[in-house]
């Protein structure tokens, strides 16, 4: 399928980021984050790009008091359209938090929703869109988000160009970009074969791969899992993909162990109100509590914010415990605003929240 030509922009140079994925996990008694890079840290001038390959959806929000029963019709108190999709969400978050550039590799339709997505991502700031292509003949992906008063949601996805807009072989320029990345972020709202191709390119270049389990309700191909450095499900996804219960932390630990046996060395589990946990094969789990929000308005995009913020801190060379706290702060800020992309916090706000937590 022919895709429209895209502007070629200069990329940041490669960085050997694989060192961040192994070794011991320092546990400092006091975790500090600096708004200004030190002389030995990354800066905007030398930070490698974050590359997100994934979906972009027009999210149709409907606010309801409760979900309808089978055969029932319920009235929504409000409805509106916003840009979303796990790939776009993670790119928007990276664009606001990362020191270096964040690229989104995605497919949208040549339609009104596609233009909505392009405009929203441009407005989000920090996201390079020259690898986003319009796919003729396929509509933009969209989703229906049923938002309840407590901020919880249920989502139905229509894949559209996310699933149908890819050529049989991933564009060589996209693969070249991935090989120069500091980290590659993937999700499961695009075809598994696309994820496999781009993960192979990353793996061959020593670029760490993070796979967010959110998306299609189907087993993850073993071929893909073996290319992933960090697998990041929530507890529901972990239960579905392993066939194991995840009601208690011990059960979650056992399910994470099953993922280790599938070839994934690190499993980063998002636990909602219980925080998060990182299970590194052969090591003790690292747990991170949530940073409470004064008011939970909308949880849409909170998991994507967490995963992307973790990746941002990882590229900067922070220890895993610090990566998790940085991600927890970003997710805490995300749930305070309605909409996925509009809720993504900027770096200064995340740092401010971390400083206030440390002062308590």
Domain ranges of the chain: 50-70+84-357
| 304 catalytic residue (yes or no) | yes
Beta carbons of 333 and 309 less than 8 angstroms apart: no
User: Do the annotations mark residue 123 as ligand-binding?
Assistant: no
The rounded Cα 100 to chain-centroid distance in angstroms is 17
Q: Look at residues 186, 211, 233, 192 and name the one whose alpha carbon lies nearest to residue 51.
A: 186
The rounded Cα 83 to chain-centroid distance in angstroms is 15
Q: Which residues pair with 270 in a beta bridge?
A: 234, 276
pLDDT for position 318: 96
Distance between CA atoms of residues 212 and 327, nearest Å: 14
Beta carbons of 52 and 211 less than 8 angstroms apart: no
DSSP string covering 22-71, please?
Answer: SS-----SS----SS--TTS--TTTPPPEEEE---EEEEEEE-SSPPPTT
pLDDT for position 44: 63
User: Do the annotations mark residue 271 as ligand-binding?
Assistant: yes
User: Do the annotations mark residue 298 as ligand-binding?
Assistant: yes
Looking at the domain 50-70+84-357, which fold is it?
3.40.1190
Distance between CA atoms of residues 275 and 90, nearest Å: 19
pLDDT for position 359: 62
Buried b or exposed e, range 268-302, using 16+ CB within 10 angstroms: bbbbeeebbbbbbeeeeebebebbebeeebbbbbb
User: Do the annotations mark residue 5 as ligand-binding?
Assistant: no
- Choosing from 174, 212, 229, 304, the catalytic residue is 304
pLDDT for position 350: 96
Residue 34: count of CB within 10 angstroms of its CB:
8
Query: pLDDT tens string for the chain (360 positions)?
Result: 333 333 333 343 333 333 333 333 333 333 344 433 443 456 666 889 999 999 999 988 899 999 999 999 999 999 988 888 999 999 999 999 999 999 999 999 999 999 999 999 998 888 999 999 999 889 999 989 898 998 888 888 899 999 999 999 999 999 999 999 999 999 999 999 999 999 999 999 999 999 999 988 889 999 999 999 999 999 999 999 999 999 999 999 999 999 999 999 999 999 998 999 999 999 999 999 999 998 888 887 899 999 999 999 999 999 999 999 999 999 999 998 877 788 889 999 999 999 998 765
pLDDT for position 126: 87
Q: What is the pTM of this model?
A: 0.84
């Amino acid at each position: 399928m022919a895709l429209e030509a895209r502007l070629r922009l200069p990329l940041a140079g490669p960085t050997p980021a694989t060192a961040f994925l192994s070794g011991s996990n320092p546990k400092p008694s006091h975790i500090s984050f600096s708004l200004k890079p030190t002389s030995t840290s990354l800066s905007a001038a030398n930070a490698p790009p974050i590359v997100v390959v994934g979906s972009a959806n027009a999210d149709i929000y409907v606010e309801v008091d409760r979900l309808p029963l089978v055969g029932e019709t319920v009235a929504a108190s409000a409805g509106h359209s916003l840009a979303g999709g796990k790939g776009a969400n993670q790119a928007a978050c990276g664009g606001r938090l990362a020191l270096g550039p964040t690229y989104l590799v995605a497919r949208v339709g040549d339609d009104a929703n596609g233009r909505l997505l392009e405009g929203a991502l441009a407005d989000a700031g920090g996201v390079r869109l020259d690898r986003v292509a319009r796919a003729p003949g396929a509509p933009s992906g969209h989703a229906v988000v049923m938002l309840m008063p407590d901020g919880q949601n249920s989502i139905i996805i229509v894949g559209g160009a996310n699933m149908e807009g890819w050529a049989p072989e991933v564009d060589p320029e996209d693969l070249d970009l991935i090989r120069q990345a500091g980290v590659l972020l993937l999700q499961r709202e695009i075809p598994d074969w696309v994820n496999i191709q781009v993960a192979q390119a990353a793996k061959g270049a020593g670029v760490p791969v993070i796979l967010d389990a959110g998306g299609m309700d189907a087993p993850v191909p073993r071929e893909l899992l073996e290319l992933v450095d960090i697998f990041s499900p929530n507890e529901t996804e972990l239960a579905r993909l392993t066939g194991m219960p995840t009601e208690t932390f011990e059960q979650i630990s056992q399910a994470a162990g099953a993922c280790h046996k599938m070839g994934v060395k690190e499993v980063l589990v998002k636990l909602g109100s219980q925080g998060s946990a990182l299970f590194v094969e052969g090591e003790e789990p690292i747990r991170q509590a949530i940073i409470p929000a004064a008011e939970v308005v909308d949880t849409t995009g909170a998991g994507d914010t967490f995963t992307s913020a973790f990746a941002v801190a990882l590229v900067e060379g922070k220890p895993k415990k610090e990566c998790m706290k940085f991600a927890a702060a970003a997710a805490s800020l995300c749930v305070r605003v309605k909409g996925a992309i509009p809720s993504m916090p900027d770096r200064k706000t995340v740092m401010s929240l971390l400083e206030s937590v440390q002062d308590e």
